[in-house]
Structure 1
């Protein structure tokens, strides 16, 4: 059963729906009494609420559509009640005066339905079988998208054009002069005729983008000309793009021609800016076109239900690289055995697969390090006198399973944050996992309370310091704005609100050579400007794509996290780190069960021991785990030499050679019935 309940969580949403119901009630009473003030008041209120819903409460408007109370139905009811009121206000002799007006209203709504039908056809013609980035696809007759009110939100067009008709009818109800209604309806009909014409023109053959067969022929030709040899395959949800993005810079460093293959259309714009061509191929039948290409190696940062579809292509060798390694059960998923090889960071991951006994052959496991960690700077010692101690709290999310210790946010997050905020010399960076709260509402609620605690602490600290000299200079803020504009210009972050996938394909054609280097330099400049623009004393909640996690690593002197890949990555710096033990295991058994915690300071859910931990980081106490961190780093991430970037490149080259041998034609078989039977077998 459809319900609008989940959409009505905020007082503003409940109030808007209540006002809409009240407006229709008042208009109904005004139409059947009849009473002009009530009639006009109901109309005006209903229109105001509808405009508010279309501009500020699209989620609520979508919920109303699900119960068939969309903008078209609401406008039709509004006009019907208004005409009923007009008929009730007049005597029978003048009733015939309003019949042409009723006909005009019917024409207006009929044209609206025709516009909706045309909009559906336009959207279908502009839904191509592939979506691209960093590829010149102008041969597909790409064009800018029509206005959103025509193609995406026809209800908005009805509401705004219907305002003329309803206003004219309302004035007629007050003045008893039908000319006002006729004029309003005429304007509304003209607007609809214009909209229908705009959409119809886009359905002409010379204005439509290429059809399916033409697009796939173009794709085959492009692949044959570009000849990519290595690709990254990714499929996931709206919050999972970070899993692929961490491998984009690594692919950019390869000498081979690379391509990124996606399956969800929305994911195209979530991939970080890069020169690497991006192909989104939603249908399995179209995905099979990759079989006849030069592709030899495909890396996979994550498992998904759609991964099995590309594994059907026998000409490509597949390597699972994961999006991070931890002691979680998900880091040795049995699904990994479907890949030709599993590439891991160091000996720890190899042992993890062996102990899990999930069917992954040890011969298929290859250690390549973590090439993403090159930007992580090494430990340089405790903060100097008078400097704030920056602590990064980066908890993981609750996960799909109920394994103990998945996240500290629920049981320990508020205690940890409260203890850190109580230290006047600490600056907290809170970076929750992007998926926090997507499975367990308790994690979502705890995350919100933590954010509120940080905001309150900032207000208190600002009042206590009351010293403007601790604020960054105006030049730093201006520098940040400048770097923001430069980065947006390079990454193409700004699109028209009405832009669709076809328009973005047109705007995101083949990039200029050297764009990747420019983007990297601009990103580094933005990060420096970002941190310089923040008051040194101010706690921060870090969300969104920027700044990246590794940039937060470099700002911090201490990490507090959970059993997650964040811990393994942070060890590249050899800085002190702490892990929250929210399981029922004691310290020794916890470290034995989770090897990534062997060099960690352990915290309880009550945040016991944070004071002593902060003293260690400040150099006031012995750092007894410094040597353990050095040893654990090599165990988790592999030896320093050769570099992880070099090892990754060698792994790609070696697997490509295997794929090439697999593609080589088999030797001719001897003739005869037995040979034919063997060949068939």
Structure 2
């Protein structure tokens, strides 16, 4: 999902909108009811599709100039009346125009109560607090509509208008007045049927707990559960991955943990978890709740909403971030507000010391990266050499060193595709790609087309997966997806809204582990169903990042946490010097670059990376990678999960005693 407004035309849908209205206008001088009928059908279809698609540049302009969908509907009705006045023969014209005008007015009057009902339903079902894995029986939540009511209401209005316009047009073309009457009757019946659809929902939802009762219900649960550990998260759309990467780690911890969200949209991105989750969007209501049992609060991102929990005086506040890298975000001066900052390895500690942003050395604790246990070490077993290209996004500045995608991305892909010996490419763009810079989004689109074209050219000459093996994998994949869909249905909003998910989303730890196993198996099967040489765009639910690590022999990336995590595999990797600093300066500035093949802005250096993949004897950086891995990610023993739990236990104990500082004599594992 992309946050930027899509520019230009959305898959031809905007073209249809323009063509439809031009056809209706042209029908007047052409004296052609049939041209008008074609135009209204095309325009209506475009309006319905447009309500489901992302907002486009054209529709934004129309909305901002007060030419939104309601104005366009009125225009179509007005054009119909014009063509009826001009073209209807004989003395029936006045009564026909009067009939259509009255029907249009009556339909609009019928929309007043239905719109009021939708507003009432939306208010009652928009709970002040949404939850997961918490008993919501006290909230008395009735089952809601299967689809959002606002876009559905727009669709119904468009269909009703189509009946009301098409009927008189057909009557004009055929000379049969009854067709006009039938069209208007169908229009009004559609509006009445819509009201009949809404009425039962209004009756069922009249008993849902009000705002005060809902907040009291969650407060009562807090008093009963008494969580000691909290993960607080807030962020923009598509930032949910920053939290999701920590859910499994938190679920493994001893003690009572709660996830607190400050943004309702993050509930849509939340990965299935057995942890209790509470979302309180209004800061004042969140701050009025009693969180005094919480002893440790974890933060995965630096955001302004963190102030809502940083105010808790009885808790210790810990920044855990969402990855370890040499980006400036990894040494944000905002970090001074936390009691402690937990880093993966010694590199994180040194990074803060060198940045001199005011973070105390005793506040830095090395705990490793508990998420990396799934990454397999060492090379894959045979197959075509596979390179994963995973560039980061363009960031908020014009710094060319942030991402290689805009200036070098196409050159990297082109060089890999043109390699004399076959190379398989896996392309994984950052979720924020194109967020700020449409030029980066355009490069991303071109790279996707390059991979598609390369696959099409190679399809005839590649070795296919044996039919029996592929069919077996596809059959099992379908079974795995069905079971996952059954387990994840409520979490993915199947047939319900946020209130339904608050009522239905429950997951035991056993079910969570089952989902994890099914996802791992789904990943294995997705890879097994393709050709061994097939290039892939590895985005979406089917492709976990760490599975992509396991499926590749080398990585090409930028300065980001992806590089640090990939180091757990021990495989070769390259980083692009997009700002053309020069190899020596680039290595000096970026810790992760010390054991990397450095690519120039024109993708020079890829040959060195591919040589290291094909022949271990040519891998001159292997020993350096191993040493750097320990520096960035910490020692392998004891495991990072053990170290993380030990650090938490120590902090909880000190929080119970009050503001007791961490002692310098503590075990080195926590340093």
TM-score (structure 1 length as normaliser): 0.89
Correspondence list, 1:477-496, <5 A: 477-492=474-489
* Cα deviation, residue 585, structure 1: 2.5
Compared CA separation, residues 495 and 49, structure 1 to 2 (3 A)? farther
Counterpart pick for 2:433 among 432, 436, 443: 436
* Cα deviation, residue 175, structure 1: 5.0
Give, in whole Å, the separation in 2 of the partners of 1:206 and 1:571.
Answer: 53
Number of the residue aligned with 2:642:
646
Contact 1:325–1:564 (CA<8 Å) still a contact in 2? yes
Give, in whole Å, the separation in 2 of the partners of 1:340 and 1:444.
Answer: 39
Give, in whole Å, the separation in 2 of the partners of 1:376 and 1:466.
Answer: 28
Give, in whole Å, the separation in 1 of the partners of 2:214 and 2:148.
Answer: 28
Compared CA separation, residues 375 and 361, structure 1 to 2 (3 A)? same
3-state DSSP of counterpart to 2:135: coil
* Cα deviation, residue 352, structure 1: 0.6
Correspondence list, 1:352-391, <5 A: 352-379=351-378, 381=379, 384=382, 387-391=383-387
* Residue 543 of structure 2 corresponds to residue 547 of structure 1: yes
* Cα deviation, residue 167, structure 1: 3.2
* Residue 135 of structure 2 corresponds to residue 139 of structure 1: no
- Compute the RMSD of aligned alpha carbons: 2.7
TM-superposition CA deviations, 1:602-654 (whole Å, max 9, x none): 22222223223322222263322222112111111112222110111122222
3-state DSSP of counterpart to 1:306: helix
Number of the residue aligned with 2:303:
304
Counterpart pick for 2:608 among 599, 612, 616: 612
Correspondence list, 1:106-185, <5 A: 106-146=105-145, 148=147, 150-174=149-173, 176-185=175-184
Give, in whole Å, the separation in 1 of the partners of 2:468 and 2:404.
Answer: 32
Number of the residue aligned with 2:406:
410
**Runs in 1 of length 4+ with deviation above 6 angstroms?**
none
Correspondence list, 1:261-272, <5 A: 261-272=260-271
* Residue 336 of structure 2 corresponds to residue 337 of structure 1: yes
Unaligned runs of 5+ in 1: 665-681
Number of the residue aligned with 1:73:
71
3-state DSSP of counterpart to 2:575: strand
Bigger CA radius of gyration = 1
Number of the residue aligned with 2:664:
none
Counterpart pick for 1:500 among 482, 497, 502: 497
3-state DSSP of counterpart to 2:67: coil
Deviates more, 1:554-563 or 1:150-159: 150-159
Compared CA separation, residues 590 and 97, structure 1 to 2 (3 A)? closer
Unaligned runs of 5+ in 2: 661-671
Compared CA separation, residues 70 and 145, structure 1 to 2 (3 A)? farther
Contact 2:465–2:530 (CA<8 Å) still a contact in 1? no
3-state DSSP of counterpart to 1:228: coil
Number of the residue aligned with 1:678:
none
Deviates more, 1:320-329 or 1:527-536: 527-536
Deviates more, 1:368-377 or 1:543-552: 543-552
Contact 2:380–2:551 (CA<8 Å) still a contact in 1? no
Contact 1:223–1:293 (CA<8 Å) still a contact in 2? no
3-state DSSP of counterpart to 2:586: helix
Number of the residue aligned with 1:45:
39
TM-superposition CA deviations, 1:353-394 (whole Å, max 9, x none): 011111111111111111111111111x4754xx31121121
Compared CA separation, residues 357 and 290, structure 1 to 2 (3 A)? farther
Contact 2:572–2:609 (CA<8 Å) still a contact in 1? no
* Cα deviation, residue 338, structure 1: 1.0
* Cα deviation, residue 498, structure 1: 6.3
* Cα deviation, residue 215, structure 1: 0.4
Correspondence list, 1:499-578, <5 A: 499-508=496-505, 510-578=506-574
Deviates more, 1:65-74 or 1:429-438: 65-74
Contact 2:557–2:563 (CA<8 Å) still a contact in 1? yes
3-state DSSP of counterpart to 1:400: coil
Deviates more, 1:519-528 or 1:202-211: 202-211
3-state DSSP of counterpart to 1:598: helix
3-state DSSP of counterpart to 2:9: coil
Deviates more, 1:594-603 or 1:416-425: 416-425
3-state DSSP of counterpart to 2:102: helix
* Cα deviation, residue 170, structure 1: 2.7
Give, in whole Å, the separation in 2 of the partners of 1:495 and 1:561.
Answer: 31
Compared CA separation, residues 619 and 11, structure 1 to 2 (3 A)? closer
Give, in whole Å, the separation in 1 of the partners of 2:572 and 2:307.
Answer: 40
Give, in whole Å, the separation in 1 of the partners of 2:555 and 2:608.
Answer: 15
Give, in whole Å, the separation in 2 of the partners of 1:456 and 1:84.
Answer: 51
TM-superposition CA deviations, 1:382-438 (whole Å, max 9, x none): 754xx3112112121211233452111122222222222123332111112111221
Deviates more, 1:479-488 or 1:85-94: 85-94
3-state DSSP of counterpart to 1:511: coil
* Residue 579 of structure 2 corresponds to residue 583 of structure 1: yes
* Cα deviation, residue 283, structure 1: 0.3
* Residue 439 of structure 2 corresponds to residue 447 of structure 1: no
3-state DSSP of counterpart to 1:299: strand
Correspondence list, 1:589-604, <5 A: 589-604=585-600
Q: How many residues align?
A: 650
TM-superposition CA deviations, 1:169-189 (whole Å, max 9, x none): 234434555443333323332
Number of the residue aligned with 2:231:
232
